[in-house]
Amino acid sequence: MIQHDILFNRYSLNPILTEKDWPYCINSVFNAGATLMPDGSTLLLCRVEDRRGLSHLSAARSVNGVNNWLIDTEPSLPACPEQYPEEIWGIEDPRITFVPELNQYAVVYTSYSRGGPGVSLALTKDFRTYERFGVIMTPDDKDAAIMPRRINGFWALIHRPMTPLGAHIWISYSPDLRHWGSHKLMLEARRGAWWDANKIGMSPPPIETPRGWLMIYHGVRRTPSSSIYRLGLALFDLEQPEKCLVRGDSWMFAPEAPYERQGDVQDVVFPCGYTIGPDGDTINLYYGAADSSIALAHGSIRCLLAWLDANGHSEHAHDRRQQRKS
């Protein structure tokens, strides 16, 4: 039997953070944004769901990014519905991008409004105080991150608006991080029986490589009993990121371990962040498991690109094959 490639190796002591680690009473912790701090330590900005069902964000810090987490004793980014009514039902799923031009971290998160989930932005230097920008993409929209540098003079935001025809990944541009336009479709959900049919979304922010922006995205397969959240790969042009260069056919990471298969929401792996090791190649991927805990898996940028070469197609080639089949 031919084995499938293993691109991410799970840390043997997963999950690395659960509700039991929390210094205050919560329901669950999952879907954390991640970044390296200037002192080399790892910061996770965790989605923490309280026992009303509403989420806020709290930081957990670790010297080695694996254990001995120092966790905020109170929410570091609570929802603030008095000032931002769109946060009435909490804030979720942060993606962190360090932006050298601003010398700040851009945190893009889902704000859960009465009108559905929208995309909000805050800037921070230290994950203790934040400058909030409020909603930058109206509902129904989520799975968003700012790119770390301007593209042709404009800031770029990757996001996932819902449309009646499906949930696809878009990119939008802004001169000032507040006004967004030039919306472009970046990656479409496939259709039919595919693992990533109908609903996809960017997972962590894209990784800049010499060959292009490498994106880990999730595909949601609806089944008669529930949904399965799996991960795939795509590569985009460095200066024209809406242009997909290669997209993998099969998924490359999926719920398999018990803590990914069972929890508040079964069969979910949902990474919102990663850090890159000192070798410039190792990816430490932090992912929410079954909406109940945070787990860690290790991969290699070089191996992901080689896998894409062997298992991917240019979107145009894919269209041609689909046309031939139909």
- Specify the residue, 274 or 307, whose C-beta has the smaller distance to ligand BMA: 274
Interaction between residue 265 and ligand BMA (CB under 6 A): yes
* Residue whose Cβ sits closest to ligand BMA: 265
Alpha-helical regions (H) of the chain: 258-261, 301-311, 315-325
Alpha carbon of residue 46 to chain centroid: 12
Sign of CA dihedral 297, 30, 34, 222: positive
Kindly indicate which of the ranges 74-82, 175-183, 265-273, 297-305 contains the residues binding ligand BMA, using the contact rule CB under 6 A.
Answer: 265-273
Rule CB under 6 A: is residue 93 a binding residue for ligand BMA?
A: yes
Nearest partner of 149 among 216, 233, 203, 206, judged by Cα: 206
Element at 94 (helix H, strand E)? strand 91-99
Task: For ligand BMA, give the closer residue by CB, 99 or 265.
Answer: 265
Q: Kindly give, in sequence order, each residue whose CB lies less than 8 Å from that of residue 210, ignoring residues fewer than 6 positions away.
A: none
For residues 8-37, which are near ligand BMA according to CB under 6 A? 31
Residue 94 touching ligand BMA (CB under 6 A): no
Shorter beta-carbon distance to ligand BMA: residue 140 or 208 = 140
Is 92 among the residues that bind ligand BMA (CB under 6 A)? yes
**Min. distance of Cβ 265 from ligand BMA in angstroms?**
4
Q: Could you tell me the smallest distance in angstroms from the CB atom of residue 319 to ligand BMA? A: 27
Binding mask 280-299 for ligand BMA (x = CB under 6 A): --------x--x--------
Contact 269, 258 (CB under 8 A): no
Start-to-end CA distance of the chain, whole Å, equals 30
Q: Per CB under 6 A, does 162 bind ligand BMA?
A: no
CA–CA distances in Å: residue 280 to residues 160, 276, 300, 302: 29, 6, 9, 10
Give the nearest distance from C-beta 308 to ligand BMA in angstroms: 25
List binders of ligand BMA among 35-64 (CB under 6 A): none
Closest by CA to 173, choosing from 137, 139, 200, 206, is 137
**248, 232 Cβ separation under 8 angstroms:** yes
Interacting positions 204-263 with ligand BMA (CB under 6 A): 229
86 makes contact with ligand BMA (CB under 6 A): no
15 upstream amide cis, omega within 30 of 0? yes
Among the listed residues 16, 123, 231, 268, the single contact to ligand BMA using CB under 6 A: 268
Number of residues lying near ligand BMA (CB under 6 A)? 9
Please tell me the distance from the alpha carbon of residue 112 to that of residue 146, in angstroms, as a whole number.
19
CB of 153 to ligand BMA, least distance (A): 32
Report the interface residues with ligand BMA, using CB under 6 A: 31, 92-93, 229, 265, 268, 270, 288, 291
